[in-house]
Amino acid sequence: MTYNILVTDHNGKEHILEATPGFTIMEIIRDAGLDLEAICGGCCACATCHCYLNEEWTDKFEKADDDEEAMLDQAYEVKKNSRLTCRLNFSEELDGMKLILGPKF
Protein backbone atom coordinates (compact mmCIF):
# COMPACT_ATOMS: atom_id res chain seq x y z
CA MET A 1 0.00 0.00 0.00
CA THR A 2 1.37 3.39 -0.93
CA TYR A 3 0.18 6.71 0.37
CA ASN A 4 0.52 10.17 -1.10
CA ILE A 5 0.43 13.81 -0.14
CA LEU A 6 -0.11 16.68 -2.58
CA VAL A 7 2.23 19.62 -2.17
CA THR A 8 2.08 22.92 -4.04
CA ASP A 9 5.54 24.46 -4.28
CA HIS A 10 6.62 28.12 -4.30
CA ASN A 11 6.01 28.31 -8.05
CA GLY A 12 2.44 27.04 -7.78
CA LYS A 13 3.30 23.59 -9.15
CA GLU A 14 1.58 20.65 -7.48
CA HIS A 15 3.63 17.57 -6.66
CA ILE A 16 2.31 14.16 -5.68
CA LEU A 17 4.73 12.73 -3.14
CA GLU A 18 4.87 9.22 -1.81
CA ALA A 19 4.43 9.38 1.95
CA THR A 20 5.53 6.85 4.55
CA PRO A 21 3.63 6.65 7.86
CA GLY A 22 5.82 7.56 10.82
CA PHE A 23 7.72 10.26 8.98
CA THR A 24 7.01 13.95 9.44
CA ILE A 25 5.52 15.92 6.58
CA MET A 26 8.74 17.97 6.54
CA GLU A 27 10.85 14.83 6.05
CA ILE A 28 8.60 13.62 3.24
CA ILE A 29 8.81 16.95 1.39
CA ARG A 30 12.55 17.37 1.96
CA ASP A 31 13.40 13.80 0.98
CA ALA A 32 11.44 14.26 -2.25
CA GLY A 33 13.82 17.08 -3.14
CA LEU A 34 11.36 19.96 -2.99
CA ASP A 35 12.58 23.41 -2.03
CA LEU A 36 11.85 23.36 1.69
CA GLU A 37 14.61 24.84 3.81
CA ALA A 38 13.85 23.23 7.18
CA ILE A 39 17.11 24.70 8.42
CA CYS A 40 16.89 23.38 11.99
CA GLY A 41 16.28 19.83 10.79
CA GLY A 42 12.95 19.47 12.54
CA CYS A 43 13.70 20.86 16.00
CA CYS A 44 10.92 23.47 15.89
CA ALA A 45 13.56 26.20 15.97
CA CYS A 46 13.49 27.94 12.58
CA ALA A 47 9.98 28.20 11.04
CA THR A 48 11.45 27.61 7.55
CA CYS A 49 9.24 24.53 7.15
CA HIS A 50 6.06 26.65 7.25
CA CYS A 51 3.09 25.46 5.20
CA TYR A 52 -0.60 26.20 4.71
CA LEU A 53 -2.78 23.16 5.22
CA ASN A 54 -5.69 22.74 2.87
CA GLU A 55 -8.79 23.70 4.91
CA GLU A 56 -10.33 20.24 4.79
CA TRP A 57 -7.25 18.74 6.48
CA THR A 58 -6.68 21.21 9.31
CA ASP A 59 -8.88 19.29 11.76
CA LYS A 60 -7.04 16.02 11.14
CA PHE A 61 -4.09 17.23 13.18
CA GLU A 62 -3.70 18.11 16.84
CA LYS A 63 -3.67 21.84 17.37
CA ALA A 64 -0.27 23.53 17.39
CA ASP A 65 1.35 23.48 20.83
CA ASP A 66 3.01 26.50 22.48
CA ASP A 67 6.42 25.76 20.95
CA GLU A 68 4.98 25.61 17.43
CA GLU A 69 2.89 28.75 17.98
CA ALA A 70 6.01 30.58 19.20
CA MET A 71 7.93 29.60 16.08
CA LEU A 72 5.03 30.47 13.78
CA ASP A 73 5.21 33.97 15.25
CA GLN A 74 8.60 34.21 13.50
CA ALA A 75 7.27 33.08 10.10
CA TYR A 76 6.08 35.31 7.26
CA GLU A 77 2.46 35.69 6.16
CA VAL A 78 1.03 33.42 8.84
CA LYS A 79 -2.61 32.43 8.35
CA LYS A 80 -5.03 30.45 10.47
CA ASN A 81 -4.17 27.29 8.53
CA SER A 82 -0.41 27.80 8.95
CA ARG A 83 1.55 24.92 10.44
CA LEU A 84 5.15 23.80 10.72
CA THR A 85 5.59 20.65 8.66
CA CYS A 86 8.18 19.27 11.08
CA ARG A 87 5.46 19.13 13.74
CA LEU A 88 3.05 17.13 11.60
CA ASN A 89 3.38 13.37 11.55
CA PHE A 90 2.10 11.47 8.55
CA SER A 91 -0.23 8.53 9.13
CA GLU A 92 -2.41 6.36 6.89
CA GLU A 93 -5.56 8.42 7.41
CA LEU A 94 -3.81 11.45 5.95
CA ASP A 95 -3.51 9.80 2.53
CA GLY A 96 -4.25 12.43 -0.12
CA MET A 97 -3.82 15.44 2.14
CA LYS A 98 -2.94 18.75 0.51
CA LEU A 99 -0.78 21.66 1.55
CA ILE A 100 0.96 24.66 0.09
CA LEU A 101 4.51 25.58 1.02
CA GLY A 102 4.79 28.83 2.96
CA PRO A 103 6.79 31.81 1.65
CA LYS A 104 10.55 31.49 1.63
CA PHE A 105 12.65 33.41 4.14
Question: How many residues line the site for ligand FES (CB under 6 A)?
Answer: 14
Can you tell me which of 8, 42, 81, 98 binds ligand FES, judged by CB under 6 A? 42
Can you tell me which of 5, 19, 25, 38 binds ligand FES, judged by CB under 6 A? 38
Least Å distance, CB 1 to ligand FES, is: 28
Can you tell me which of 19, 26, 29, 53 binds ligand FES, judged by CB under 6 A? 26
Convert the chain into a string of H (helix), E (strand) and C (coil): CCEEEEEECCCCCEEEEEECCCCEHHHHHHHCCCCCCCCCCCCCCCCCCEEEECHHHHHHCCCCCHHHHHHHCCCCCCCCCEEEHHHCECCHHHCCEEEEECCCC
Residues belonging to the chain = 105
Q: Of 9-17, 37-45, 51-59, 91-99, which part binds ligand FES (CB under 6 A)?
A: 37-45
Task: Check residue 51 for interaction with ligand FES (CB under 6 A).
Answer: no
CA distance 56 to 42: 25
Q: Of 11-19, 43-51, 59-67, 94-102, which part binds ligand FES (CB under 6 A)?
A: 43-51
Can you tell me which of 53, 72, 84, 88 binds ligand FES, judged by CB under 6 A? 84
